[in-house]
Structure 1
Amino acid sequence: MQWYLKVLRQYRDFSGRVRRAEYWMFTLVSVIISVVLAIIDAALGLSLGGFGVLGGLYGLAVLLPSPAVGARRLHDIGRTG
């Protein structure tokens, strides 16, 4: 969980590097949260046009941290982000 929170705290940082474990743990926790929110959306009937309200809010919350961690991971493997 510490890797997930670290990525969220560094949401503006597109420079630097991120280790493989940190990147994949962020991705794993993000997918788990998305699935749980989709289940909650379906159970509560909060889907609007096929998109869940809670899942959409979570998607907006990680809109900037996701590409930032992706760019930092590319820097770690020697590519440009």
Structure 2
Amino acid sequence: MRMVSAFKNVVMNNYANFDGRLGRAEFWWFYLMDTLIAVAIAVVTAMIFQSAKAVYIAVGAYYVILLLPMLSAEVRRLHDIGLSGWWLLVTLIPYLGGLMILIFLVMPPKPTGERFGSYTDNADA
């Protein structure tokens, strides 16, 4: 399954790897799996503890564990479109920063140049 393999690749093989590129398809499969796991954790925690506070703690702990893989995936995705990972600091600008990063993350890759590693189109893989 593409979603599971993309998630495993980012979390297991590239936990804190900020070098190279990450294709658009693999990034979004990883992000979808990440979101589904967070929702499952929230639902299960709510059913067991019936407390919003417990849900916040459980989902928050999950995202603390996945902080480095998410940052590294976003940096490698920015590398894929030819931008430096430092562009993530744009998210510190309220409202506009998050929108800018979202636009960057959905942009098609730039196959020219070897600045961040060789280009591989993994959309069909």
Percent identity between the two aligned chains: 35
1:49, 1:31 → 2: CA distance?
Answer: 18
Q: Give the aligned partner of residue 3 of structure 1.
A: 6
The equivalent residue for 2:29 is 25
The number of residue pairs the alignment matches comes to 80
Is the counterpart of residue 48 in structure 1 residue 53 in structure 2? yes
The whole-number CA distance in structure 1 between the counterparts of 2:32 and 2:54 is 26
- In the TM superposition, structure 1's runs of 4+ consecutive aligned residues that sit over 3 Å from their partners are none
Indicate the SS of the match to 1:48: helix
Higher relative contact order (CA 8 A, sep 6+): 1
Unmatched tracts of structure 1, length 5 or more: none
SS class of match (2:67): coil
Structure of larger gyration radius: 2
Q: Distance in 2 between matches of 1:5 and 1:49?
A: 27
Choose 56-65 or 26-35, whichever is displaced more: 56-65
The letter of the residue matching 2:56 is: F
- Corresponding residue for residue 63 of structure 2: 59
Cα RMSD (Å): 1.6
Deviation at residue 56 of structure 1 after TM alignment:
2.5
Distance 1:64 1:41 in 2: 24
